[in-house]
Structures are given as C-alpha cells and as structure tokens.
Amino acid sequence: MRKVLVTGGAGFVGSHLCERLLSEGCEVISLDNYFTGDKRNIVHLIDHPYFEVVRHDVTTPYLVEVDEIYNLACPASPVHYQYNPIKTVKTSVMGAINMLGLAKRIKAKILQASTSEVYGDPQVHPQTEDYWGHVNPIGRRSCYDEGKRCAETLFMDYHIQNDVRIKIIRIFNTYGPRMHPNDGRVISNFIIQALQGNDITIYGDGSQTRSFQYVDDLVEGMIRMMRTDDNVIGPINIGNPGEFTIKELASMVIEMTGSKSKIINLPKPTDDPTQRQPDIGKAKEMLDGWEPQVPLKNGLEKTITYFENLLKSGNFDTW
Ligand code: NAD
Ligand code: UDP
C-alpha cells in the first residue's frame, strides 16, 4: 500500500486528490493549517481507515515516512494570497524547502503544484513550458508568482544537487465543487452572484481570457504525473485549452442559472494577466495521452449544483 502525504489536503484541489488516492487504495495523510481549507471538505473521508488528518503549517518541518508527497499547501486565489503576502512567500518557499528536505531524507517522490502564474502576463500565447514568463517582481501578485517560481527553482536544485525525485506541474485556472465560496475567484464569484441575484462583477471590460479546467481533469493529470518514470520531472502544463473571455463566462453563468442578475464593470486589478491558455502538447505526450475530458458547460453545471446546495444548507455564511 502506497503511503501518500498531501499538503493542503483540506483545500479545494487537495480534498479531491485525497478522495481519489483513497479510492485507489493508498494510505493518505492530509496536512493543512486550515488557512483557506476547511475540515468540511474532508469530513466525509474521516471514517476511512487509511485516512489521517494532521494540522500543521508547512513553514515548519514535518517528519513522516511516506512514499509520495503532493505539495499543494498555498492559498491560490488573489484575495487570499494577498491577505498576508509575506506569509504567502514563506509558505511557497519555506514549504518547498521543508517538503523537499523531507523527500530527500525519506527518499520519497515529490510533486509540486506550480501554476500558470509563473508565466505572469504572458507575451507568448498559448503558453509553452519553455516560456520564461513576464512577471512583475514587486507587484500585488508577486508574493504568489515569485513564491511559486522560487519553489520551482528549489525543486530543480534539490533534484540536481541531491537526486531528489521531483515532478513539477503548472496548473491553469481550475474550478469545481469545494472552491471556497469567498475566495473571490471568477467562477465561484459569478455563480454565487447569479444564484443570489446580485450584480455580476466583471473587472475591466471582460475581454481578458482564461482557460478553465474542471478539478477531476486536474486530479487525473496529477496522478498520472506522479506515476511517470523518474526521468520525467517537468515542468508540465496541466490545463484545459478551451479559452474564454470573462465576458463570455459571465453570459454562460447567467444563462445556465436563469439569473436576473445584471453585469457591472469594476476596475481591473493591476497586473491582471490579459490572456492565458495552456499548450498541453507535453502533457499529452508524457502523461499517456492525458487531456481534459470535461467541457466548461458540464463542469459549470456540477459547480452550480454544488453552490446551490451549499446556499440551501445554511452553512454558506459560516464558510
Ligand atoms: P486552496 O486555497 O483551496 O487550498 C490550499 C490549501 O493549502 C488550503 O487547504 C490551505 O488551508 C492550505 N495551506 C495554505 N497555507 C498553508 C500552510 N502554510 N501550511 C499548511 N497548509 C496551508 O487552493 P487550491 O485551489 O486547492 O490550490 C491548491 C494548490 O494548487 C495551490 O498550491 C495552488 O497554488 C495550486 N494551483 C491551483 C490553481 C487553481 O486554479 N485552483 C491554479 C494553479 C495552481
Ligand atoms: N474576475 C472578474 N470578476 C470577479 C473575479 C475575477 O472579472 O468577480 C476576473 C479577474 O480580474 C481575472 C479573471 O477574472 O481577469 C480570473 O480571475 P481569478 O481570480 O479567478 O483567477 P486568476 O486571475 O488568478 O487567473
């Protein structure tokens, strides 16, 4: 039985990953400090005999014997990562050092959840892994972007210097059930605004683009990446190449929810990337033909249902 440590296990992506790993017969430890994660994301797994929950902050070392480490601990939405930017950098950098140190000591394989944000506001479109990016080192998004870039550097250096078996994936905008309702990301914002009949807030004129990936497709890509041979280290883009303007997304959400909400335009945040789309050629080649299976419309349906139920449950305000 493979023993797996998932940092950030109580978060949106982490909770889906824990669920999937357990269903495949792994023993899973979720490590989380609950900054943006929530025990309610994993409460349905608690009775599983091979699931363990640890409250811990990755900025301090943690020792355990496992075969694989998925390093996801880090707030992912601009609202949350900008709340305490110094802590965000510490989480990415010291978290990477601590988890890489652990992987080195116990000879575990370790996967880093990196991000399309390493490309910044990209001048190459779609983004390929060999593009070095266009990142402002001192802007509002830098704590996240530069923290994640430094984590990639650390992963490569631990690999080169200490032979640690590493895997780096660059995740593009991912959505689905268990996104934090107040994290301000565009899909959760639009769905909740539409369901509550509030104004749909488009930042800027809505011509900026994103490519949205459903969480199950991401988890499949992560698992396949972890299983590759040791010579496959990445970075590899994991995302859905279907590219939409934010305006198009707003119209889809309004139509699918049958909402009477109206669209309003608010100022666009500084350094907000203008366009983003993954080139997934490398993922298809290296991950056994992996490609996203869930079109945006189907994924939105599932996510709308999740937020409808959350609103009905009465738990919404306590999240
Ligand atoms: P999330 O905020 O839901 O999950 C992050 C988890 O990490 C939370 O449970 C949080 O409590 C935990 N955490 C934060 N700081 C910690 C610390 N110091 N110690 C221990 N735990 C800590 O976000 P998510 O969307 O699930 O993202 C998971 C990972 O995937 C992140 O590393 C993120 O950067 C990466 N990623 C996500 C996306 C996306 O669109 N969701 C895109 C690119 C990269
Ligand atoms: N956005 C928006 N309205 C919102 C939230 C976000 O128009 O209520 C825009 C945001 O400015 C960005 C895009 O949607 O251009 C995606 O934002 P998100 O925070 O989801 O992800 P990221 O910017 O990190 O890719």
What's residue 71's pLDDT? 99
- Name the average pLDDT for the chain: 97
Asked if residue 109 has pLDDT above 90, the reply is yes
| pTM for this entry | 0.98
pLDDT band, residue 80 (cuts 50/70/90):
very high
Q: Is the C-beta atom of 246 inside 6 A of ligand 2? A: yes
In a domain, 212, yes or no: yes
In a domain, 147, yes or no: yes
Asked if residue 316 has pLDDT above 90, the reply is no
Rg of the chain over Cα atoms, rounded to whole angstroms, equals: 19
What's residue 206's pLDDT? 98
In the block, which residue shows the tokens 């994991």? 238
Pocket residue to mutate for ligand 1, from 74, 150, 225, most atoms within 8 A of Cβ:
74
Q: How far is CA 19 from CA 1, 28, 57, 268, 318, in A?
A: 16, 9, 21, 36, 23
Residues in the chain: 319
Asked if residue 142 has pLDDT above 90, the reply is yes
In a domain, 319, yes or no: no
> How much of the chain exceeds pLDDT 90, in percent?
98
Which residues, other chains included, contact 35 with Cβ-Cβ below 8 Å and sequence gap of 6+?
75, 80
Residue whose C-alpha is closest to residue 248's, from 215, 207, 195: 207
Let me know: does 70 contact 6? Beta carbons within 8 Å.
yes
In a domain, 294, yes or no: yes
What's residue 314's pLDDT? 83
In a domain, 86, yes or no: yes
pLDDT of 245-295, one tens digit each?
A: 999 999 999 999 999 999 999 999 999 999 999 999 999 999 999 999 999
What's residue 45's pLDDT? 98
What CATH number is associated with residue 218?
A: 3.40.50.720
What's residue 319's pLDDT? 83
Asked if residue 201 has pLDDT above 90, the reply is yes
Let me know: does 211 contact 172? Beta carbons within 8 Å.
yes
Asked if residue 318 has pLDDT above 90, the reply is no
Range of the domain at 125: 3-246+248-314
What's residue 317's pLDDT? 84
In a domain, 186, yes or no: yes
Q: What is the mean pLDDT of residues 117-121?
A: 97
Q: Is the C-beta atom of 215 inside 6 A of ligand 2? A: no
Pocket residue to mutate for ligand 2, from 203, 240, 276, most atoms within 8 A of Cβ:
203
Residue whose C-alpha is closest to residue 44's, from 55, 30, 56: 30
Total structural domains within the chain: 1
Ligand with minimal distance to 80 CA: 1
In a domain, 55, yes or no: yes
In a domain, 28, yes or no: yes
| Atom 12 of ligand 2, nearest CA residue | 272
